[in-house]
Amino acid sequence: MHMLDSEKRRDDRPLATERTIPHSPPEDVLGVLTGTFLAALGLYLLQEAEAVTGGTAGLALLLTYATPLSFGWLFVLVNLPFFLLALWKKGWRFTLKTLVSVSIVSVFSEMNEFLLPIPDINPIYGIVAGNLLLGVALLIVFRHGSSLGGFNVLALIAQEQFHLRAGYVQMSLDLVVILLALTVMAPSGVVLSAAGAVVLNIVLAFNHRPGRYRA
């Protein structure tokens, strides 16, 4: 009986004991390109829906409604202070990947305006679809050792050093950005944006957990 129990425990042993296979450099490159493309597309849908989301992406979107600058430039500018934080807490490799990811999102964002004109979009559809795309994009870039800067860096640090869920940390910070949107947006637009930010962070909270993925 004890022998059967021992065999069962061995068979049911969690995957933590299995040898992990890291991503190869080509896989990282393709993963980051895929994630940044989806992120730029999601942010473009949000911009066309005249909505905001959380994080530095949300701040950049917010500033596009209040200044003549484009999202691509603003996204890089608002992320500059967080690159220093990433370098301090996460090292040069993660920081370099994040810098590259942010830069690619900015380039893709500028391209979307020319290659994908959207004359009209339902705000609810744009907000839900945009945040879903952004959530999936974040999962992809996280899995490949990068981020989209800003609050993503803070959320990852909180998860790794304080064992807090990245999605929940990001949700709290995002609410601050959403509230700031009241200064330049109608309350109805802010409410829809808040609902969209919840969708994004639910995607992260349910799918990005320490130890769940091994690659």
- The rounded distance, in Å, linking the Cα atoms of 129 and 42 is 7
- The rounded distance, in Å, linking the Cα atoms of 6 and 12 is 10
Query: What dihedral angle (degrees, nearest 10) is formed by the CA atoms of 47, 68, 138, 129?
Result: 0
- Residue 207 in contact with residue 89, Cβ under 8 Å? no
**What percent of the chain clears pLDDT 70, i.e. is strictly above it?**
86
- The rounded distance, in Å, linking the Cα atoms of 44 and 113 is 8
Question: pLDDT tens for residues 6-65?
Answer: 444 444 444 444 566 777 878 888 999 999 999 999 999 999 999 998 788 888 999 998
Does the predicted model carry a pTM greater than 0.75? yes
- Residue 126 in contact with residue 48, Cβ under 8 Å? yes
**What percent of the chain clears pLDDT 90, i.e. is strictly above it?**
29
Q: In the predicted model, is pLDDT for residue 214 greater than 80? A: no
Q: In the predicted model, is pLDDT for residue 4 greater than 90? A: no
- Within 10 angstroms of residue 4's Cβ, the number of other Cβ atoms is 8
Question: pLDDT tens for residues 170-211?
Answer: 778 777 888 888 888 889 989 999 888 888 878 877 776 655
Q: In the predicted model, is pLDDT for residue 131 greater than 90? A: yes
Specify the pLDDT at position 209: 61
Tell me phi and psi for residue 7, to 5 degrees.
-65, -40
Specify the pLDDT at position 17: 45
